[in-house]
Structure 1
């Protein structure tokens, strides 16, 4: 099994988004993980889609609800410390259709 990694993400001001989407939590009966990362954001290159979040700052994240984790991340100030298992989550984001996609609203 992979070893946990501690990463620090810094943003230039409080209004700048961290640049990653959180998924899961105790209330969803899923491990907290990173769903996706915005290119060019403070999180880009530090975290990746599929990283499991074990800790946020000094808090153990394994039993947090989605909203509790969201609030810890939001209140981190300009420096966010995450303890991660890199690229470990294999959840719903890995499910892909086997046949052709039948509905594409952007195609005419």
Structure 2
């Protein structure tokens, strides 16, 4: 027994929310492989495993996947799907309960990589104890009011910051 599902969206930026597979080019009937629950298709009642018989008023039996997709594009933002329920067994990924998979733990401590720290981090790390003692914050290359600058950067009288050693 077939069922008619009406799909309507406001503009083309909204996805329909289902994945279609099959077609005469792969030797299978067109069917719905996956439906996102809160999508337009999910709310309209489309289900994984439904065979697609008609798109709008066009019979799609014998259509390739691309022909069926083209027919959906021609229909625009408002069309009907005539489907037959339960023709194709829903793939395991479309089941309602997600399969439990063990989590993996990866440790880089045994790997060939070495720990790398940026110059900025090293500079701030060295200035932090002094800043905590005086109650001030570490020097910043963006702090124009601060006169005591880090050895990494110097500023001339105009306020421009130059890398250390550059005149």
TM over 0.5: yes
Other structure's SS at 2:47 match? coil
CA distance in 1, matches of 2:72, 2:48: 17
Deviation at 1:74, TM superposition (A): 2.2
Instruction: Spell out structure 1 runs of 4+ moving beyond 3 A.
Output: none
Task: Give the distance between the partners of 2:34 and 2:41, measured in 1 at CA.
Answer: 10
For residues 40-88 of structure 1, the C-alpha deviation after alignment (integer angstroms, 9 at most, x for no partner) is: 1110132100000000011111110000011111222111210100122
Q: 2: distance between equivalents of 1:87 and 1:13?
A: 30
Structure with the higher strand share, 1 or 2:
1
Distance 2:104 2:71 in 1: 40
Listed as ranges, the gaps of 5+ residues in structure 1 are 95-103
| Matching residue of 1:54 | 53
Q: TM-score, normalised by structure 2?
A: 0.53
Q: How many residues align?
A: 96
Higher relative contact order (CA 8 A, sep 6+): 1
Q: Give the match's secondary structure for 1:43.
A: helix
- Which aligned pairs between 1:60-79 and structure 2 lie closer than 5 A? 60-79=59-78
Matching residue of 1:107: 104
The TM-score, its normalising length taken from structure 1, stands at: 0.79
- Number of the residue aligned with 1:14: 12
Q: Which runs of 5+ in 2 are unaligned?
A: 93-100, 106-167
Q: Which residue of 1 aligns with 2:39?
A: 41
The aligned counterpart of 1:31 is 29
- Name the one with the larger helix percent: 2
| Structure of higher CA gyration radius | 2
